[in-house]
């Protein structure tokens, strides 16, 4: 199993690399239908129901992925990828498809950087860009008649400012604006500037701003793509984990089934052996009966020759033997009932232990569920606190915007005063520079404060992620503990079955002992019969000597004794028939009791087995439901967090875009570069 899992891991890693390499090539496809078809094929390959779960299915899936990647690198889709994938498992690739892997790539692979955009992306963004460029060109042409160009040093300084914004992706710094403030005011008085240079600078700046906007859009799309990739990876991991758990549980169930089948077969074999032994005992009893009947016939003949005293003694001995046999049977039945009661008591005690263990497991699972609920409540409280902090930041943002509007109104008033008070121009410029320095210091303090808050929020988010990972690890440990407890239960059941098997062996040994005792008794009876025959022969010789003397006296009595003996023989035959019937009825009753006990034991065994299997299946279903619920909650929370982060990023990018456009509108008016007094 370990070797197969390693092979599966290698094949899955190759497939993941192929999927990652495919994504930039799929985005470069011009037609939307081709992109959708490629996405359907990738989904088909990612699903285990379509690609297969074994080694052969994964190899076939990897061949499909390599062929699709090769065709995407060439830029032409052929073969099975010209139409949508069929439902069901993938067919094996024919041998002639290996030609594609031998061909060199005819087209050059483009770089996957965000600067190199595919054609269809540029086509979608072209309309908005062309409209904005036309509006900027018209405004720049109308204002170029009144504008004055900047010097080479000023151009260099101004072109450095948007570059710093694109790298930092934060609000622009005031240091560049302060460096630009003094030379611009000096050059307005020193040199006149040509109209062509101002047009070129305006166009270059507009183009550069549009490039920045395009980069921001591309970064947004790349972030969305990464988000979808992470989501697919998490889904794949979840599917693989669930499949592994199901495979393990199915293997355990199959092992239990095989164990129960083996135990059933062993029990059936023991029952067959017992039946065979019973049959042998019945045959031996029949043989003994036949020998007894023969001996009885011989004894009848001897009794006809012997006296009534010998007949009475023989009858007494027979009655004693029958009484002893009945006593032995009664004792055997008592022992059998006592053994059955002991078995029932042992089984009841073990069942009570199993119920207690099951109740303890239920209590432990309930405790873990309560702990998880408490943890979820803590996480919800932390999420509410983060939302409150975000609301505070939004309120601060609105306050800053209001301040910005107030500053703009003051700027308009200053412009009106500037037109009326040309004489005090130098004094106003000095005050303006002092105000700029003060605002710069305030702006630096605000930026540092915002950066610190951003770092704190990022640290809190990382702590939350670590806590979630720790909870997932705890859940895994609990699953391992539950599996260990199940293994212990299986061991206990195996020990119970082994003890049951040993009990059967002990019963077999008892039966063998009983048969040996019966054989010894039969041997003793044979020895007694032989001694009786010897005594009868000796007595017969004596009687024969006496009978010769008393023949004349006995002839008269023979007529009478014959009638009496005939009556006695009839009565004796009737008694023998009654004894035979009684013994046969007892044997039939013993067989019926044995079969009933056997069926009862089988029913108890099957009922216990069914109960154990049902309990095991119920526990498996409960654990699966709990795992699915936990994974669903975790996925929903991660999705909500990612959606919130994506919305925050989108809002930040849109705000930065609006700020850039607003800066461009503010800085370029009437072909001049203005720096307002209180911009932030």
- Once rounded to an integer, what is the mean pLDDT over residues 82-86? 75
CA atoms 440, 445, 447, 448: torsion sign: positive
Name 214's Cβ contacts closer than 8 Å, sequence gap at least 6.
Answer: 117, 125, 129
| DSSP 8-state code for residue 678 | S
Low-confidence winner among 68-72, 226-230, 285-289, 505-509 (lowest mean pLDDT): 505-509
Question: Would you call 105 helix, strand, or coil by DSSP?
Answer: coil
Query: pLDDT tens for residues 443-470?
Result: 778 777 877 877 787 787 677 777 777 8
Helix (H, G, I), strand (E, B) or coil at 21: helix
**Residue 648 CA neighbour count, 13 Å, CB half:** 14
Per-residue pLDDT, 500: 65
pLDDT at 512 over 60: yes
> pLDDT at residue 403 above 70?
yes
What does the DSSP 8-state code read for residue 669? E
Tens of pLDDT, residues 242-257: 888 888 888 888 888 8
Which of 125-134, 215-224, 409-418, 483-492 comes out lowest in average pLDDT? Answer: 125-134
User: What is the spatial distance between Cα 111 and Cα 25, in angstroms, rounded to a whole number?
Assistant: 10
| 370: Cα within 13 Å, side-chain hemisphere | 6
DSSP track, 516-533: HHHHHHHHHHHHHHHHHH
Q: How far apart are CA 554 and CA 566, in angstroms?
A: 17
Helix axes 195-305, 308-420, angle to 10 degrees: 170
Pick the closest to residue 335 from 553, 163, 513 (CA basis).
Answer: 513
pLDDT digits (tens, 9 = 90+) for 297-320: 887 777 677 667 777 887 888 888
As a whole number of angstroms, the distance between CA 611 and CA 96 comes to 56
For residues 34 and 77, what is the distance between their CA atoms, to the nearest angstrom?
A: 8
Query: For position 554, what pLDDT does the model report?
Result: 66
Kindly state the percentage of the chain with pLDDT values over 90.
0
- Of the pLDDT bands very low, low, confident and very high (cuts 50, 70, 90), residue 678 is very low
From the list 634, 627, 637, 622, the residue with the least C-alpha distance to 243 is: 627
pLDDT band at 229 (very low <50, low <70, confident <90, very high): confident
CA 659 – CA 170 distance, rounded (Å)? 10
pLDDT for residue 464: 75
Burial 645-655 (b: 16+ CB within 10 A, else e): eeeeeeeebee
Least confident range of 30-34, 128-132, 343-347, 495-499: 128-132
Average pLDDT, integer, range 66-93? 76
> 181 and 433 in contact (C-beta within 8 Å)?
yes
In this predicted structure, the answer to whether residue 478 has a pLDDT above a threshold of 80 is no
- Each residue's pLDDT tens digit, 551-609: 677 677 777 777 787 887 788 778 888 887 887 888 888 888 878 888 888 888 888 88
Q: How far apart are CA 676 and CA 680, in angstroms?
A: 9
pLDDT at 353: 85
Q: What is the CA radius of gyration of the chain?
A: 52
156 compared with 632, residue with greater pLDDT: 632
Residue with tokens 């007894």, as numbered in its chain: 292
Average pLDDT over residues 264-276: 86
Q: What is the rounded average pLDDT of the residues 327-336?
A: 83
Confidence label for 359 from pLDDT (cuts 50, 70 and 90) = confident
Tell me how crowded residue 213 is: count the other CB atoms within 10 A of its CB.
19
Give me the DSSP letters along 234-247. Answer: HHHHHHHHHHHHHH
Residue 663, pLDDT score: 65
Q: Mean of the pLDDT values across residues 411-416?
A: 78
Per-residue pLDDT band for 540 (boundaries 50, 70, 90) equals low
Give the whole-angstrom CA distance, residue 663 versus residue 680: 11
Each residue's pLDDT tens digit, 3-16: 777 778 788 888 78
Q: For 92-150, how does the pLDDT look when each residue is reduced to its tens digit (9 = 90+)? A: 776 666 566 655 444 333 333 334 444 544 554 444 444 444 444 444 444 443 333 33
Pair 202, 668: CB distance under 8 Å? yes
* Contacts by residues 258-261 (CB-CB < 8 Å, ≥ 24 positions apart): 259/494, 260/609
What confidence tier does 168 reach under pLDDT thresholds 50, 70, 90? Answer: very low
Identify which has the larger pLDDT, 477 or 194: 477
Give CA–CA dist 95/213, Å, rounded. 49
Q: What per-residue confidence (pLDDT) applies to 373?
A: 83
For residues 52 and 635, the model is more confident at 635
**The pLDDT value given to residue 665:** 66
Instruction: Supply 44's token pair.
Output: 């088909």
Question: Domains of the chain: which residue ranges?
Answer: 2-102
Per-residue model confidence (pLDDT) at position 1: 54
pTM of the model: 0.23
Q: Which of 147-151, 281-285, 331-335, 383-387 has the lowest mean pLDDT?
A: 147-151
pLDDT at residue 649 tops 70: yes
Sort residue 194 into left (φ over 0), alpha (ψ -120 to 50) or beta.
beta
């Amino acid at each position: 199993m370990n070797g197969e899992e390693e092979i599966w891991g290698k094949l899955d890693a190759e497939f993941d690399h192929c999927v990652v390499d495919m994504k930039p090539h799929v985005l470069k496809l011009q037609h939307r239908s081709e992109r959708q078809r490629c996405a359907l094929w990738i989904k088909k390959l990612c699903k285990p129901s379509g690609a297969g779960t074994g080694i052969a299915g994964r190899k076939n899936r990897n061949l499909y992925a390599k062929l699709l990647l090769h065709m995407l690198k060439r830029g032409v889709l052929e073969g099975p990828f010209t139409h949508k994938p069929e439902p069901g498992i993938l067919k094996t690739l024919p041998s002639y498809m290996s030609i594609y892997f031998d061909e060199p790539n005819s087209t050059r692979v483009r770089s996957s950087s965000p600067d190199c955009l595919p054609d269809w992306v540029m086509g979608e963004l072209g309309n908005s860009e062309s409209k904005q460029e036309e509006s900027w060109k018209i405004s720049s042409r109308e204002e170029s008649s009144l504008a004055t160009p900047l010097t080479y040093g000023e151009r260099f300084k101004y072109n450095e400012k948007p570059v710093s914004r694109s790298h930092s992706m934060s609000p622009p710094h005031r240091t560049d604006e302060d460096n630009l403030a003094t030379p611009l005011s000096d050059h307005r008085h020193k040199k006149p500037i040509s109209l062509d240079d101002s047009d070129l600078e305006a166009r270059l700046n507009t183009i550069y701003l549009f490039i920045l906007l395009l980069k921001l859009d591309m970064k947004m799309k790349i972030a969305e793509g990464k988000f979808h990739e992470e989501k697919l990876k998490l889904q794949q991991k979840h599917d693989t984990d669930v499949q592994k758990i199901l495979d393990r549980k199915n293997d355990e169930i199959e092992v239990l089934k095989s164990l129960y089948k083996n135990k059933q077969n062993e029990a059936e074999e023991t029952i067959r052996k017992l039946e065979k032994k019973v049959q042998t005992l019945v045959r031996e009893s029949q043989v003994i009966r036949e020998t007894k009947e023969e001996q009885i016939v011989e004894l009848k003949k001897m009794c006809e020759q012997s006296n009534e005293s010998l007949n009475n003694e023989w009858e007494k001995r027979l009655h004693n033997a029958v009484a002893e046999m009945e006593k032995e049977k009664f004792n055997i039945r008592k022992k059998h009932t006592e053994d059955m009661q002991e078995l029932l008591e042992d089984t009841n005690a073990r069942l009570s232990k199993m119920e207690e263990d099951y109740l303890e497991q239920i209590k432990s699972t309930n405790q873990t569920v309560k702990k998880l609920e408490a943890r979820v409540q803590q996480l919800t409280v932390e999420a509410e606190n983060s939302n409150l902090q975000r609301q505070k930041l939004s309120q601060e943002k609105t306050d800053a915007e209001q301040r910005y509007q107030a500053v703009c109104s003051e700027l308009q008033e200053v412009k009106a005063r500037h037109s009326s008070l040309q004489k005090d121009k130098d004094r106003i410029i000095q005050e303006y520079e002092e105000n700029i320095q003060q605002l710069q210091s305030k702006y630096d303090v605000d930026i540092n404060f915002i950066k610190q808050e951003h770092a704190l929020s990022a640290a809190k988010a990382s702590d939350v992620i670590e806590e979630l990972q720790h909870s997932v690890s705890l859940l895994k440990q609990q699953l391992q503990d539950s599996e260990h407890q199940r293994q212990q239960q299986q061991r206990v059941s195996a020990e119970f079955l082994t003890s049951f098997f040993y009990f059967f062996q002990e019963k077999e040994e008892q039966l063998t002992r009983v048969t040996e005792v019966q054989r010894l008794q039969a041997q003793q009876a044979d020895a007694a019969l032989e001694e009786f025959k010897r005594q009868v022969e000796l007595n017969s010789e004596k009687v024969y000597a006496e009978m010769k003397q008393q023949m004349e006296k006995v002839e008269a009595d023979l007529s009478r004794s014959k009638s009496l003996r005939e009556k006695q023989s009839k009565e004796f035959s009737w008694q023998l028939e009654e004894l035979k019937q009684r013994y046969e009825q007892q044997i039939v009753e013993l067989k019926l009791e044995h079969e009933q006990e056997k069926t009862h034991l089988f029913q108890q065994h099957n009922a216990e087995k069914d109960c154990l299997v049902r309990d095991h299946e119920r526990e498996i279903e409960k654990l699966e439901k709990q795992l699915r619920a936990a994974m669903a909650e975790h996925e929903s929370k991660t999705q909500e967090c990612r959606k919130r982060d994506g919305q925050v990023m989108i809002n930040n990018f849109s705000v930065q875009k609006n700020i850039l456009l607003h800066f461009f509108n503010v800085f370029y008016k009437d072909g001049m570069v203005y720096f307002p007094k209180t911009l932030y």
